[in-house]
Amino acid sequence: MRRSTFTDAAVSYAAIGGTLAPDLMSYPPKGYRPMEQSVRLGSSKERFEAATKLLMTWGIQRGSGMEVTDLENGTGVQYTPVTFQPDGTPAAGQQHPVNEATFAEDGTPYITNGMTATLKMTAWRLSVTAPVRVVYVIDEAARIGFAYGTMAGHPESGEESFIVEHRENDSVWLTIRSFSRGSTWYYRLAWPVLRFQQAKFTKLYLRALHPAGAISN
């Protein structure tokens, strides 16, 4: 789907939904750097439910020290992702019950397709503002998560996904996938610094849902 369909808050890249591609690490969008990391959060249905509840109320971002502000539900055409079969062939798009207007106990709205937010973080005493838009939501019995894409004003261009999976052996895993590059020429000049900060926040993300007991794969 072309990014121009996002009439109210356009994302700043073309490969919307690219984090769903099975071969992302081998064939990322041209000019973008891919990343994929996973961490074990524990085991049991209860662990899965607790982790996904935090995940879908911006728990990863807040747990890593970010401030999440300006939450707005989208009003434009929403992206319906292409999902894939185990053999890598495309499957039909899915309906996502988590898109219903639901809220956590503290009033935080659950993440839905088309939602926009502003992520604020501090790096070397500098405040960085990063507007994002949720481009897809996954809500399956054993797999829940979302991805957001960058919007104008974000120091990076690209997409990042956060998916929690309850596997057949009862273990619970968080997987983070992304592809990114500097959003403007001056951010591209500063790409080594952006990569350092990205790696730093990815480590914080991986710890945010289960800081004490996470085990990387």
Res 135: pLDDT: 94
Res 41: pLDDT: 92
Question: Once rounded to an integer, what is the mean pLDDT over residues 11-34?
Answer: 93
Say which residues have a Cβ less than 8 Å from residue 103's Cβ, sequence separation at least 6.
109, 110
Rounded (5°) CA angle 71-208-81: 55
Res 208: pLDDT: 80
Could you tell me which residue, 96 or 41, shows the higher pLDDT? Answer: 41
Question: Once rounded to an integer, what is the mean pLDDT over residues 31-57?
Answer: 92
Residues in the chain: 217
pLDDT tens-digit series, residues 60-102: 999 888 899 888 876 444 455 445 555 555 454 444 344 445 7
* Secondary structure (3-state) at 53: helix
Q: Which amino acid is at 157?
A: S
Question: Once rounded to an integer, what is the mean pLDDT over residues 147-157?
Answer: 90
Lowest average pLDDT, out of 7-21, 119-133, 149-163, 202-216, goes to 202-216
In the chain, what's the furthest Cα-to-Cα distance?
47
112 with 134: CB under 8 angstroms? yes
Reply yes or no on whether the pLDDT at 55 is more than 90: yes
Lowest average pLDDT, out of 151-155, 173-177, 191-195, goes to 191-195
Percent of the chain with pLDDT over 90: 45
Res 98: pLDDT: 41
CA distances from 179 to 10, 11, 133, 139 (A): 18, 14, 15, 22
Question: Once rounded to an integer, what is the mean pLDDT over residues 168-192?
Answer: 77
Enter the tokens of residue 59: 């728990």
Res 199: pLDDT: 65
Tell me the pLDDT of the chain averaged across its residues: 78
Region for residue 17 given its phi and psi (left: phi exceeds 0; alpha: psi -120 to 50; beta: otherwise)? left
